[in-house]
Structures are given as C-alpha cells and as structure tokens.
A and B are shown apart, each in its own frame.
Chain A
Amino acid sequence: MTRYARLLWVQLRASMLLAMQYRADFVLDGVVELFWASTTLLPFFVVFAARPVIGGWGRDEALVVVGCFIVLQGVLEGAVNPSLHGVVERVRNGTLDFVLLKPKDAQFLVSTARFSPWKCMNVVTGVVVFAVAFRGLGRPPSAAGVGIAAGMFACAIVVLYSVTTLVVSASFFVVRVDNLSFLFTAVFDAARWPATVFRGALRFVFTFVIPFAMMTTWPAEALLGGVDVRSMLLSAALAIGFAAVSRTVWLRALRSYASASS
C-alpha cells in the first residue's frame, strides 16, 4: 500500500511539473478554469429568476446541489478524465504496451497517469457556492451532515470513475470512443439539477442507470440534514456494484488487447 502511495505521489508530481512546464499555459489555464466554473452558475440563476421553487427545491437548497455538481465536475475533469481518456489514445497507438510491462496494477497506473491541477479551482468554487447557499439558508450544515455528505461524495466519485472506466474499456473493442465520451460528459450536465426535477423514465435512469441522484442530490440532502438511511445504503451499494462491474469489464478488455502495430 505504501508503495502505491509513493507511486501516486510521483504521478501527481509529474502532473504538477507538466502543468508548470509552460508558464503562459499555466496562467491561462487558471484564468480559463475560473471563467468556466463561474459559467456553471448561469443557467441556475436564469431558471430561479423565473421560478422560486423547482421540483420542491428552493433557490438556496438547490444551490447546494449545484455546489456538489461543481465539486464533482472538478474531480471528473481534474482527476478522472485526463488519465482515463489517455487510455483511448494508448490503445489506439499501442503505447499501452509500456503500462502492461510494469509490475503494478495496470488500472491503477492508467488511472493516476495524469491530473489537471487547475481543475481544483472547481473545488474551491464549489466550497464558495456552499458558503453562499448556507448563508442564504441562515444556518450552517451539521457536523454529522458534513460527514455523511463526505462519505456519499466518496461513493459518487467511485461511481463516476467506474462509469468513465466502462466508457474507456469500450476503446479496446471499438478503438474510437470519443463520441461515447462526449455523450457522457453532456449527460453528466443533468447532475447540476436536483433529481426531483426529472420525472418518469428520466428519474429512473438518473437514479439507477447513470445514478446522478446519488452523486449530487443525495450528498446535498445530507448537507441540508434530510438524507435517509436508505439513500446512504443505496449509495454504498451502487459504489460497490459499479466498481465491481467496471473492474470486471476492464480486466476482460485487457485480455482482448491486441497491441497495435509497431
């Protein structure tokens, strides 16, 4: 375990070095990230300017969901996507060979190969959004609520990572999965709204198939003090289920790796 921790640190260090390799890019990336994080809030304010309550959620309560979304988006784009999307290219040009020649778990190696440090700006923005929301509500979240929300966030990250792994695993069979990846990113945008906004089939899909409800709505409910035990257990079960399925599919995909021409 210590060896993997050391390896994670070395990979993180390499990503930091890469981010700082070009000074102009480093500064520009920071400014761009700040801009994108702030634009995430625009649709929210447009909608709530027209209606005070949506799907049973008031503006400040729904803002907590947006905060969860911004944080999770930062994790997705900063820690999950850069590494896993690199796998698609590695499969296509055959440089995955070098990963498979290493005496460490290949999924760990490719999952930690690249981070985008500037995406942590989303996490900072998310925390600011939480502060604004709870100021509007006139009360802070309880310590227990923060603890439960943190646990549910961890489960959400596992599910998000697993879904991305499943998308990436498809590249072993169909080579180009860019469209699938863009589709997921576009659909993930729905997670910025509370799950109760969606009705019928969409609610079922966003709860069980691509469980956005457990990623943003349930942690927000935990912070607001209204989450039930059933959601907590379901959250953990979804994390375990998705992790198991994605691991199985990944290992199967590896076996079919044909190593592109040299």
Chain B
Amino acid sequence: MIEVRSLRKAFRVPVREAGLFAALGSVFRRRYRTVVAVDDVSLSIERGERVGFLGPNGAGKTTTLKMLAGLLHPTSGTLTVDGHEPSRREPDYLRKIMLVLGQKQQLLWDLPPTDTFDLNAAIFDVPRDQYVRTRDELVELLDLGDVVKKPTRQLSLGERMKCELVAALIHRPKVLFLDEPTLGLDVTMQATLRTFVRRYNEQEGATLLLTSHYMEDVAALCPRVIVVDRGRVTYDGSREELARQVRPVKRVTLRLARAATAEEVEGALGEGVRVVTHDAAELGVEVDRANVGECVSRALSRLPVTDISVEDPPLEEIMRELFRETSAARLEADADATARVDADAEGAPDSGEDA
C-alpha cells in the first residue's frame, strides 16, 4: 500500500547571528544552512495496517507525512501510495487520503462545522445521499449531536478536533495520515478519538499512519511502530519487540495487604529486582524477562500479595529511554551541521519546516 525507498528531504534555511550588525550584514550577504529533515527513510506498509510513527521533535515525522500526503516534494528517493506518486497530487489519489494536523484546522472559523462538511462534500464530489449518510453516521459515532450547528469558534478544543475528523472523513478515505490528532485534548476525549479511529480502520479497512507524542495513542492503536531519529528509521517492528530491545525487563505490579518499604520488597524478591514505583501498599518492580517467573513465585510466597500483574514497561518510558540514548549523538550532529554552513550571496527561497 505504502512503499518508501531512500526518501530524503533537505531544506536550505537562512542563518544569521543575533544583533543589528548581523541583521544588516545578512541583507547584503545571506548565509544558508542545509537542514536534512528526512535522510534515507525506507518503509513498507500493508493495506489496513495501523502504524505508529514515533520520534523526538525534529526527527522527520511530520515532513515524511507531508511528503506522503503530496504536500512536499522529496529531494530524492521514491514513494508510492496505492500506486500513486503523491507529489503529483492526482485527484484520484487525493480522494483516497486524508491528513489531520493536530495544530492546524480546516474548519471555517465563523461558521458551524456542518458548512465545512457541505463544502468538502462538494469539493470531493460526494453524492448528496452518500454525504448525508456518512455525515450523520460520523456525527453519531463521535456523539456530536447539535455541536455541528454551533459556530466553530464557540466549540471546545475536543469538539473542534472531533469535527475536524468528520470534515476529513466525509469522502471516506482509505489512507489516514494523523499528525498529533489528540494534542491538547483531555484523557476522556483522547480515548474517544482513539476508539473512533480504530473503529473506522476496522470498518473501512483503512490504512493508518499516526504520529503522536501521547504514547497511549500508539499503545491503543498501533501494533507496529516505526521509530525515526534525525531523519532515519532506527526501528521498524512490533511494539512488544521494541520494548524487549530497549528495556529488556518486565514491569510487575504488586498490591499488598499492608504497606511495605522498597527495601523490604527488594529483599524478599532477591537479586536483579528494582522497585521503580512505590505508593504504600502498591509497588511497581522491574525484573529481567528471564527471571519473571521466579520473581512472581517469590512474591507470592514471601509477601502478603492481594493482586499481581505483569506487563511491559509503559511505552512512554521506553521512548524516553530510546531518545535519551540518541540525544548525545544529536548534539554532536548539530555541531557538524553548523560547520557545514555555506555562504551564498545569491540565495534560494527561504524555507521553514518543522521536521
């Protein structure tokens, strides 16, 4: 469905030092820096898959998503989505996809969302009866009711994002690119959107590529994750395998009949066990995957356990650890990039991009 080979996107951005003289100097002699937002990304996604696209700020997630949606032209490499080359922006292709950007909105600000829905139905040539059916179904699934009849500027952030999703799905796309769709939403609203997106994926067989800084989104929606850092894919596989690679431990949560200290619990469970969370009678301990059985057995025999669960560490922690490992390398790379600054009196158009 989605095939990406050796994808690269570089921007030339103007640079100058702070201060009046530097500003004056840049008027006559502009200096540019080449920023490589995406550097040799290759990936393949099957029809109907739900994939999480993860990485720290500036990793190249949004740039890749925008190239897949046809908004940006790749500097080099190839990408096809359902047989289409996105940068050609063929109408047939644009009818198959949607892109939701959590920080931008397409809803008409002063008019009710239903007017934006009407407009999108006309733009996508959706037949009237099909449009009404789709709109009513989506409005019901997202429990929007009369919200769609209020001017957009009067809606809460969560209501607006729900309406953004309806506006983007009016033409029933088969490929969903979601960039931070739950940004700024409360926990309940995040859960509602996740459930909705998952149901849409299952009902329509749609392919989903999601970027989010909320790991709960990825944990709830995406069995497969692709991690990018500094424009390169550093991991592509299942969530579980990622957890195994980055944190080869299991998280055992114990609920005890009485309060206990961390030292007491560590002493009871033996070597290689570490208490990571502690709240009176509830403790979270980490243990090597190979020793989980022994740890659980000791806990049950030596501690007054009333409840016990064994899970992978939260994805949030895994990603934090993964990105911490690469942050030092990132600082080094930034220093190299500064050295690559090239002076250019002619200058190319200024480009700004959040990678």
Residues on A lying within 8 angstroms of B by beta carbon are 3, 6-7, 10-11, 14, 17-18, 21, 93-95, 97-98, 100-104, 109, 172-173, 175, 255-262
| Pairs of residues from A and B, 6 with the lowest C-beta to C-beta distance, nearest first | A261-B354, A103-B91, A98-B106, A258-B351, A103-B94, A10-B122
* Complex Cα–Cα for A110 and B106 (A): 13
Residues of A within 8 A of B151 (CB): 21
Closest Cβ of chain A: how far from B135's Cβ, in Å?
Answer: 14
**Which of B62, B94, B104, B179 is A102 in contact with, Cβ under 8 Å?**
B94
B116 to A: closest C-beta gap in Å: 8
B119 at the A interface (CB under 8 A): yes
Q: How far is the CA of A256 from the CA of B349 in the complex (A)?
A: 8
Mask: chain B, 1-21; 1 = CB below 8 Å from A; 0 = not:
000000000010000000000
B160 interface contact, C-beta 8 A: no
| A93 B104 Cβ-Cβ under 8 A | yes
A262 with B180: in contact, given A3-B125, A18-B110 (CB under 8 Å)? yes
Give the secondary structure class of B's interface. Answer: loop
The reply to whether A101 and B104 contact each other, CB–CB distance below 8 Å, is no
Contacts of A100 in B (CB 8 A): 70-71, 89
Convert B55-78 into 0s and 1s, putting 1 for each residue whose CB lies closer than 8 angstroms to a CB of A: 000000010001001111100000
In the bound complex, CA of A97 to CA of B104 (Å): 9
A11 touches B119 (CB 8 A): yes
Question: Can you identify 10 A-B contacts, CB atoms within 8 angstroms?
Answer: A10-B122, A14-B115, A97-B71, A101-B98, A103-B95, A103-B124, A104-B91, A173-B349, A173-B350, A259-B353
- Of all chain B residues, the one with the shortest Cβ separation from A3 is B125
Q: Which residue of chain B has the shortest Cβ distance to A98 in the bound complex? A: B106
Chain B stretch 321-355: residues in CB contact (< 8 A) with chain A: 349-354
Identify the closest chain A residue to B354 (Cβ).
Answer: A261
7 further A-B pairs in the complex, CB-CB below 8 A; given A100-B89, A102-B120, A259-B71: A10-B122, A97-B101, A103-B91, A103-B92, A103-B95, A261-B352, A262-B103
Q: Is B108 an interface residue (CB 8 A)?
A: yes
For window 79-101 of B, CB contacts with A under 8 Å fall at 89, 91-92, 94-95, 97-99, 101
Q: Are B94 and A259 in contact (CB under 8 A)?
A: no
Which residues does B use to contact A, with CB under 8 Å?
11, 62, 66, 69-73, 89, 91-92, 94-95, 97-99, 101-106, 108, 110-111, 115, 118-120, 122-125, 151, 179-180, 349-354
Cα of A183 to Cα of B301 in the assembled complex, Å: 85
Query: Are A102 and B69 CB-contacts (below 8 A) given A17-B115, A97-B101?
Result: no
Q: Which of these, A3, A93, A94, A101, contacts B94 with CB under 8 Å? A: A101
Whether A260 touches B352, Cβ cut-off 8 Å, given contacts A14-B115, A98-B106, A101-B99, is yes
Q: How far is the CA of A261 from the CA of B354 in the complex (A)?
A: 4
For the complex formed, measure the closest distance between the CB of B150 and the CB atoms of chain A, giving whole angstroms: 12
A21-B151, A261-B353 known; A97+B125 contact, CB < 8 A: no
Residue from B73, B92, B104, B353 with most neighbouring chain A CB atoms (10 Å) = B104
Task: Tell me which of A7, A93, A172, A261 has the highest count of chain B C-beta atoms within 10 A of its own C-beta.
Answer: A261
**Knowing A95-B105, A259-B71 touch, does A6 contact B352 (C-beta < 8 A)?**
no
**With A and B bound together, what is the CA distance between A259 and B87 in angstroms?**
13
Whether B11 and A95, one on each chain, are in contact in the complex, defined by CB atoms closer than 8 angstroms, is: no
Among candidates B91, B97, B122, residue contacting A7 with C-beta atoms closer than 8 Å? B122
Q: Are A104 and B101 in contact (CB under 8 A)?
A: no
In the assembled complex, the CB of A29 is this many whole angstroms from the nearest CB of chain B, namely: 14
Q: Which residues of A contact B180 (CB under 8 A)?
A: 262
Bound Cα distance from A68 to B70, whole angstroms: 43
Complex interface: chain A residues within 8 A of B91 (CB)? 103-104
Enumerate chain B residues within 8 angstroms of A14, measured Cβ to Cβ: 108, 111, 115, 118-119
Contact B66 A97 (CB under 8 A): yes
Bound together, the chains give a CA A258 to CA B102 distance in angstroms of 18
CA distance A7 to B120 in the complex (A): 9
